[in-house]
Structure 1
Amino acid sequence: MDDEIEMAEVLVPIGKIRIQLSAGILNKIKILPAQGKCVKVARLDGDFKQLSPPMQKCVEWMLAYFNNIKQMPLNASELPLPAFDEDSFTSKVYKTLTEEIGPGKTISYGDLASLAGRDRAARAVGSAMKRNDLPIVIPCHRVVKNDGGLGNYSSYNGCITKEWLIKHEQSC
């Protein structure tokens, strides 16, 4: 059925990543706690070949992100992303963040608001980041406070995870 939900999990240094597709479209990424420490990034849930082609792309992208960002085989825009409402400020924020702020870089909430076309909408950017269902792919961890402080992060382990992701990207 086209409306079936497909899930895969990947064990990474920050926990376990659950990737969910609905009707072949990426609709949720969740960072969960994992038992023990992860040394090598690995899939947790069986044979890669049994996954649908869209899920294979998503898992391949996530494995590459945690193994070596510079040698990623796919750009995030090549993933089966949902269509965002072009008139929505949240969609403009997500698109701007994904396309303009590359790995290892950060941007303030206010500067991202300006880039997305709405000066002084830093709080709205913060709200958009909090509602982001696709962390890492839509890299909300790259958005920081104006003074350089981390701000918040609503995924598993909060700012510890956010700081780890920023440092990971900067070290690759």
Structure 2
Amino acid sequence: MTDSERPLPDGPVAWAWTTTDTPVGPLGLAATRTGLISVVFHAGERTSAEAVARLSRHLGSAPGAPPSACHDLLAEAVDQLRAYFAGRLRAFSLPLDWSLTSGFNRRVLRELLAHVPYGTVVAYQDLADRTGESGAARAVGVAMGSNPLPVVVPCHRVIASDGGLGGFGPGLESKRILLTLEGVLPEPLFQTAARLP
């Protein structure tokens, strides 16, 4: 993946927003000219409005009528997410805009993205060790919770040292679905009534 290290902007940044349906519910996606900047779980009407307002404050502009490059990137992100959820894509190849994270959080997220591939997991403590911060397992958890690019930067692959799922801001059921899709967890023996045809 390509990415940008630019800091938060001094002036307004052109960007675009869209939502797409997935097996973990609607995801909201935002992109600048630089790359995908945000992935938001549970992106129904209210959550989308809140995310757009938050991004508008950070980027200094509303999503209005951005350059086609932003829309093209969103279309590619939607296509890659569909392929991922269909089991046809194991690694995203989208440019990323990292400007919504910095410092330790960015370092940990980049380590996760670069070295924890599809179908594998890593413990919070192991990820802390990999970044040279051996006592920072809780800080890794905070970094995962503030990940602006979940699924694409796979914070769902970080688990507790005892093998438990650990936490996941969008909910443990979403984490289970993602890890099952990647073959880390077995398919459930029983489906809930809501998932039956």
Give the TM bin, normalised by the shorter chain. Answer: 0.7 to 0.9
> What's the secondary structure of 1:7's corresponding residue?
strand
**Residue 28 in structure 1 maps to residue 41 in structure 2:** no
Q: Report the aligned-residue RMSD.
A: 2.6
> What's the secondary structure of 1:21's corresponding residue?
strand
Question: Which residue of 57, 65, 73 corresponds with 2:76?
Answer: 57
- The answer to whether the Cα contact below 8 Å between 1:84 and 1:91 also exists between their aligned partners in 2 is no
2:163 aligns to what?
Answer: 148
- Select the structure that is richer in strand: 1
Aligned residues, how many?
Answer: 149
Aligned pair in 2 of structure 1 residues 117, 10: CA closer, same or farther (>3 Å)? Answer: same
Amino acid of the residue matched to residue 80 of structure 2?
Answer: W
Higher-Rg member (1/2): 2
**Residue 137 in structure 1 maps to residue 152 in structure 2:** yes
**Residue 125 in structure 1 maps to residue 144 in structure 2:** no
2:114 aligns to what?
Answer: 99
Using the TM superposition, give the Cα deviation of residue 84 of structure 1 relative to its aligned residue in structure 2, in angstroms.
6.1
- TM-score, normalised relative to structure 2: 0.67
Using the TM superposition, give the Cα deviation of residue 103 of structure 1 relative to its aligned residue in structure 2, in angstroms.
1.1
Question: Which residue of 150, 160, 163 corresponds with 2:176?
Answer: 163
Question: How far apart in 1 are the matches of 2:136 and 2:37?
Answer: 26
Aligned pair in 2 of structure 1 residues 97, 51: CA closer, same or farther (>3 Å)? Answer: closer
- TM-score, normalised relative to structure 1: 0.76
Runs of 4+ in 1 over 2 A off after TM superposition: 2-5, 22-25, 49-53
- Relative contact order, CA 8 A, sep 6+: which one is greater? 2
Question: How far apart in 1 are the matches of 2:43 and 2:162?
Answer: 30
